Amino acid sequence: MNTRFVCSFPLEDLQRGRGRVTDSSITLAHGSGGKAMRDFVQDVILGAFNNPLLAPLEDQAVMDLQELLCIGDRLAFTTDSFVVDPLFFPGGDIGMLAVNGTVNDLAMSGARPLYISCSLVLEEGLPVDTLRRVVTSMRRASDEAGVSVVTGDTKVVERGAADKLFINTAGIGVVPVGVNIGASRARAGDKVLVNGYLGDHGCAVMLARNDLALEADIETDCQSLAGLVARMLEICPDIHCLRDATRGGLATVLNEFAQSSRVAIRLNETALPVRESVRGACEILGLDPLYLANEGKLAAIAPAERAEALLEAMRMHSAGADAAIIGEVVESPSGVVILNTGFGGGRIVDMLVGDQLPRIC
């Protein structure tokens, strides 16, 4: 009988003696709940993410509410799953992606990201060294973002039941008092800003798959945006809308803003920051950089009177060095995004239909 075998590691039963994984690849025993899983958790997981909240190896992490209340008055909570193919691509990997993607989702509410979870779905036969590379990358990204991996879970499935490695994360952050960011808050007269070049991540992953006879020096833009957002809020606490432009790209995010706020958004094509290498790849493949995934880019809508000061502050931060004001909010036609082209015309930029590039994050 061919059945899938899955099992959570029983954290409460683990001994504190550090085991050592000697297998070269993941086996079903690493999900069995026995000694092999104990050694796996102690060596690979705790070895990478050891911190005061994770070290007790309970079934949950327990946080001090008084410490959270010193930061703000509301919790932000998010979850995400990462199934990118390939696992490693120019400038990044699935581990970096999982941490920064979760951190950025929290930051888009104005929250200070604090804690994340890490749940792994491992395919039997995955090289242990590959997994070590991924969790080491996650540790590096979490250190850079100022968050801690405090709880987790592991499942092992039979060979062929998954594609090497999937990661699920959840994140908790705290929203400071007075910050009120939402997709329905855009108002006519507001300016639209982005923090840099569009489409880098989508192109980098696409080229890493080696399905196309194209060569280009393009790396993922994957990065934490928490520090940038904190700086933006110092300059403009009344940012109206904020979202990272991941799947569906900038076009989809701005359509969500326009529809939620019942306004129109006009973009200036000549103001859109797109690398020539990305633009060239898109022209060859018939893609639009406005719809390509990003993993380190945000779209912000802010009051016009604060836009220039906000832009200057963004450009002073490493994650916003190439920031630009790319358009404005107008009253009508409601729920529509319009691109003013370099030829003096205009075209409607709709939401993404279908999927230009599957398994991009």
Provide φ and ψ at 225, rounded to 5°. -105, 5
6: pLDDT strictly greater than 70? no
**Do 257 and 328 fall into the same domain?**
yes
pLDDT tens-digit readout, 22-80: 889 999 988 887 888 888 888 898 889 989 999 888 889 999 999 999 999 999 999 99
Q: What is the mean pLDDT of residues 327-343?
A: 95
Confidence band of 2 (pLDDT split at 50, 70, 90): very low
Q: How far is CA 49 from CA 54, 83, 102, 115, in A?
A: 8, 21, 16, 12
What is the rounded average pLDDT for all residues in the chain? 91
Question: Is residue 181 situated within a structural domain?
Answer: no
**Do 127 and 209 fall into the same domain?**
no
Question: Is residue 359 situated within a structural domain?
Answer: no
**Do 116 and 206 fall into the same domain?**
no
Question: Is residue 185 situated within a structural domain?
Answer: no
Q: CATH no. for residue 285?
A: 3.90.650.10
User: In which element (H, E) is residue 186 found?
Assistant: none
Question: Is residue 289 situated within a structural domain?
Answer: yes
**Do 341 and 301 fall into the same domain?**
yes
**Do 220 and 339 fall into the same domain?**
yes
Instruction: Give 92's strand partners.
Output: 89
Question: Is residue 276 situated within a structural domain?
Answer: yes
Question: Is residue 186 situated within a structural domain?
Answer: no
CA atoms of 73 and 55, how far apart (whole Å) = 28
Question: How many domains does the chain fold into?
Answer: 2
> 281-301 burial by CB neighbour count: b if 16+ within 10 A, else e?
bbeeeebebbbbbbbbbbbbb
**Structural domain range at position 292:** 191-348
The DSSP bridge pattern shows strands 264-268 and 337-340 to be parallel
Q: What is the mean pLDDT of residues 154-170?
A: 96
pLDDT score, position 57: 82
How much is the pTM? Answer: 0.92
Spatial contact of 220 and 204, defined as CB atoms under 8 Å apart: yes
